[in-house]
Amino acid sequence: MKASDIRELTENELNKKKTELMEEIFNLRIQVSTQQTTNFARIGKLKKDLARLLTVIREKEISTGRS
């Protein structure tokens, strides 16, 4: 997911996407620990997407004057 795509989302969509990414990371970690998957690269990609998303959320908070 690109940062430019993330910036086009509304605040509600950003929060929904954040929840989805966090749940997916959690589920993948569980699958890895129970040896149901070996897709470690997917976890890293999702974590980077989550970081991008959180950065954009923070940028929007700063631009609207919220702390």
Whichever domain contains 45, its CATH number is: 1.10.287
Q: Answer whether 0.75 is exceeded by the pTM.
A: yes
* Domain that residue 51 falls in: 3-64
Tell me the CB-side half-sphere exposure of residue 26, using CA atoms within 13 A: 6
The pLDDT tens digits of the residues spanning 17-61 come to 999 999 999 999 999 999 998 888 999 999 999 999 999 999 999
What's the CA gap between 4 and 2, in Å, rounded? 5
Split into its structural domains, the chain has a count of 1
Residue 7, token pair as written in the block: 């910036």
